[in-house]
Chains A and B, each alone.
Chain A
Amino acid sequence: MDKRDREILEILQDNSRLTPVQIAAMLGVEQADIEQRIKDLEEMRIIAKYHTLINWEKAGEESVSALIEVKVTPQRGAGFSKVAERIYRFPEVKSVFLMSGAYDIAVLIEGKTMKEVALFVATKLATIQNVLSTATHFVLKKYKQEGVILEDKEEDKRLVISP
């Protein structure tokens, strides 16, 4: 990882659809160099995935997100990692973070309905060995996600021509 790699990552993080040709032009280097670097970054899993941020609510799709605080008894030798793994293997689970503070693991879940999410927590999550307790917080509205303000389309308010 050098400065150039970092620049490539910043550019792709903002817009992963830019082509190696464009990125090469933006950074003033050869296209082949950019392609090689991206390949290496993918292989190292520094670039973990290219994904698209979708506003499902706007698409008219019903979906429910929840943040679940999980308290866990850490295990000798494995700490929190074993429990975390048992949680993150579920496809409904979108993110899992080890936290400092009042609880141990934060779990972000998406489901079709509140009932579905609640059932998942009650039957799958709370029953995992060493999970002491859970607290489920449903998301009521998403204002901003991954740096993107969802409702606010910042249109260009400038005059089309100015000196």
Chain B
Amino acid sequence: MINWTAKLSPTVKNIPPSGIRRFFDLVSEMKGIVSLGVGEPDFVTPWHIREASIYSLEKGYTMYTSNWGLLELREEIARYLNNTYRVKYEPRTDILVTVGVSEAMDLALRAVLVPGDEVLIPEPCYVSYSPCTSLAGGIPVSVPTTMENGFRVKASEIEEKITPRTKALILSYPNNPTGATISGEELMEIAKVVKKHDLIVISDEIYDHLTYEGKHTCFAALPAMKNRTVLLNGFSKAYAMTGWRLGYACGHPEVISHMTKIHQYTMLCAPVMAQMAALEALQNGAEEMSRMVAEYDRRRRLVLKGFREIGLPCFEPKGAFYAFPSIEHTGLSSDEFAERLLMEAKVAVVPGNVFGANGEGHVRCSYAASVESITEAIERIGRFLKQLPTDIQETAANG
């Protein structure tokens, strides 16, 4: 008998299993659930994009592409970034097409970290940053953000956590799970700290199009930041293309070629049919995208108003498609709240602690759901909250 426990990597063993997984198992057996737990658009990929990919298959595009991705697609990405943010990347050397931003994040961390390097991660944030840092031999250092500060990380908060081992900072605005955005001025302050301490910034801007108030600032577009930033973006959210798994990384040729080295041995290239679809998305997808963005914006207001009316304190999300209300006043933990809400009211949300320890006291509610679902969910949550206080008092009395 082989003893796997002794043979498995302790690095992997020490990574906590995703909190979302446990919850998913719980949900998947239940019926009649209204879900606000989904981290992807409720739109299907626009037909013209699907159609372009089908056409490419018909024409026989079924081969490997260059490790870097189709040159035409990289040129289109460069054009998009230059037109939108005035940041210039050379398609042949500065852009790598990846299998989603998830791969790009992993590549970026692996390309720069040596064991013991610290990575600053403002939390709450997407679930992969910290585990990927650990897998790459780095040490994730949480920088907690708060609802009071609109979940925007301050330059001073970053600076407090800097040690001689700090190598990189991960930024992710608009943010999953909080829906927070950050202003150009605030990013400028962060840029000063980054420069002063000679840090690398990995900026995950997958939700850039889903900015509802003000304009998104691309971190790489700030003065002197382009060369120390690895900019990550992709097609999943804005073009409703999650399942295609397509993203990209842009940066200084040295780091991008380093990342490409890992990519060529682990992934070879992103699937060609997804690259063909992405090309169509960038060339002709603007109209459908702005239709979807307008729709999210309406639902955002609906959710915010709904939560506030039923007594859930909620910070106004200005980007992505999540609301991150506080449930602290219920006296329940995020896990308890989410689990009881699921069992008793049949509404699925994601406990906030999944996104970092200081997400505790919140739940993530995705408004990538129909108006009917959102309305129904808010009603159910409202009823659930009403019967809570007596319940808690009883528990207290009995306890």
Contacts and interface: CB of A to CB of B under 8 A. Distances in A.
Interface stretch (A20-28, A75-83, A100-108): A20-28
A159 B24 contact: yes
A22 B23 CA distance: 31
Contacts of A59: none
Contacts of B306: 25
Looking at A15, A25, A26, A161, which has the most chain B CB atoms within 10 Å of its CB? A161
Contacts of A27: 298, 301
Interface stretch (B30-38, B187-195, B266-274): B30-38
A11 B298 contact: yes
Given A25-B305, A160-B37, A162-B38, A154 B44 contact: yes
Nearest to A29: B301
Nearest to B26: A161
Contacts of A25: 301-302, 305-306
Interface string A134-163: 000000000000000000001010111111
A158 B42 contact: yes
A161 B27 contact: yes
Given A18-B371, A158-B42, A163 B305 contact: no
- A contacts with B: majority SS: loop
Interface in B18-58: 18, 20, 23-24, 27-28, 33, 35, 37-40, 42, 44
Contacts, number: 58
A162 B350 CA distance: 9
**On chain A, which size bracket covers the interface?**
10 to 19
B348 A15 contact: no
Q: Which of A25, A28, A163 has the most CB of B within 10 A?
A: A163
B16 to A, nearest CB: 14
B44 A161 contact: no
Contact of B302 (A26, A158, A159, A162): A26
A34 to B, nearest CB: 13
Contacts of A18: 371
B206 to A, nearest CB: 12
A26 B212 CA distance: 13
B105 interface: no
Contacts of A156: 42
B127 interface: yes
